Amino acid sequence: MTGRLEGKVAIVTGAGSGMGAAMVRRFCAEGARTIAVDVSGAQDDTARDAGANCVPVHADVSVAVEVESFVRLAVDRFGKLDIICNNAGIQGPLGLTADYAEEDWDRVIAVNLKGVFLGMKYAIPEMLKIGGGSIVNTSSMAALVAFPTLPAYSASKGGVSCLTRLTAAEYASQNVRVNAILPGAIDTGMTRGMPKEYLQGAIDATLMGRIGRPEEIANLALFLASDEASFITGTETQVDGGYTLV
């Protein structure tokens, strides 16, 4: 099937790499006009690959004026906003809670949690103007199970899951759907930067016995973003090869 997002306007954050880049490629292939947001600079490569319907934007999701500005750009450029995937995230350094540096905590929470809040804060009013929309937040299996030495990351993802449910409840009657994806270990820049034994431990605990592909996350993001998911809101779906099953 193609054209599953025909006529839709989408924003994807963290679009320079990994899951965000896969979402942009998939969304554009399915007909969406897409704003690809990242701080890394790699959003330009993603947009080049995705074709004429993609506009790259350099922005930091933790900075309110930058988020407000890329939401405005979507509306100015394409006339409306139907979809936002709040996907940008950082892992932060590994460290036990008592040893964790306050500035590392603040940065991880700012990008992973405040960034999702800001994305929703500025996108929702635009969605309400057109009678609804779809928000897809990237949480993590770290919202469900303990990953020692990742205190800020885990707290941020627990927060994303909680905020997803809360916002879904607030706007359900106005047809703004809000759902979260909980990836397991996926082969991206983030996991490639992890200590080898840490990543191997996660793969060993994955019942399907392998690391996931960014496209396997983009497939669910596409479904949740599209009208095929028109009666689905407030959900959290693990895409983790069975990691959290036992």
Closest contact distance (angstroms) between CB of 167 and ligand NAP is: 17
Using alpha carbons only, how large is the chain's radius of gyration in Å?
A: 17
Closest CB to ligand NAP among residues 175, 187: 187
Q: Among the candidate windows 33-41, 74-82, 125-133, 162-170, which touches ligand NAP by CB under 6 A?
A: 33-41
Q: Please give the size of the binding site for ligand NAP, defined by CB under 6 A.
A: 30
233 is a site residue for ligand NAP (CB under 6 A) = no
Q: Among the candidate windows 48-56, 123-131, 161-169, 183-191, which touches ligand NAP by CB under 6 A?
A: 183-191
* Sites for ligand NAP among residues 82-141 (CB under 6 A): 87-90, 111, 115, 138, 140
Tell me the two tokens of residue 218.
């983009």
* 134, 191, 233, 238: residue in contact with ligand NAP (rule CB under 6 A): 191
Closest contact distance (angstroms) between CB of 32 and ligand NAP is: 19
* 13, 179, 206, 238: residue in contact with ligand NAP (rule CB under 6 A): 13
Closest contact distance (angstroms) between CB of 154 and ligand NAP is: 11
Q: CA-CA distance, 102 to 152, in Å (whole number)?
A: 10
DSSP string, 127-189: HHHTT-EEEEEE--GGGTS--TT-HHHHHHHHHHHHHHHHHHHHHGGGTEEEEEEEE-SB-SH
Q: CA-CA distance, 47 to 163, in Å (whole number)?
A: 29
183 is a site residue for ligand NAP (CB under 6 A) = yes
According to DSSP, the β-strands at 176-183 and 236-239 are: parallel
Residues 6+ positions from 102 with CB-CB distance below 8 Å: none
Closest CB to ligand NAP among residues 14, 133: 14
Closest contact distance (angstroms) between CB of 17 and ligand NAP is: 3
Closest CB to ligand NAP among residues 53, 188: 188
Report which DSSP code applies to 212: B
Q: CA-CA distance, 200 to 194, in Å (whole number)?
A: 10
Q: Is the dihedral of CA 50, 220, 110, 146 positive or negative?
A: negative
220 is a site residue for ligand NAP (CB under 6 A) = no
Q: CA-CA distance, 106 to 108, in Å (whole number)?
A: 6
Active site residues: 153
E-strand stretches of 7-154: 9-13, 33-38, 54-58, 83-86, 133-138
Q: Among the candidate windows 1-9, 54-62, 94-102, 223-231, which touches ligand NAP by CB under 6 A?
A: 54-62
Binding positions for ligand NAP, rule: CB under 6 A: 13-14, 16-20, 37-40, 42, 60-62, 87-90, 111, 115, 138, 140, 183, 185-186, 188-191
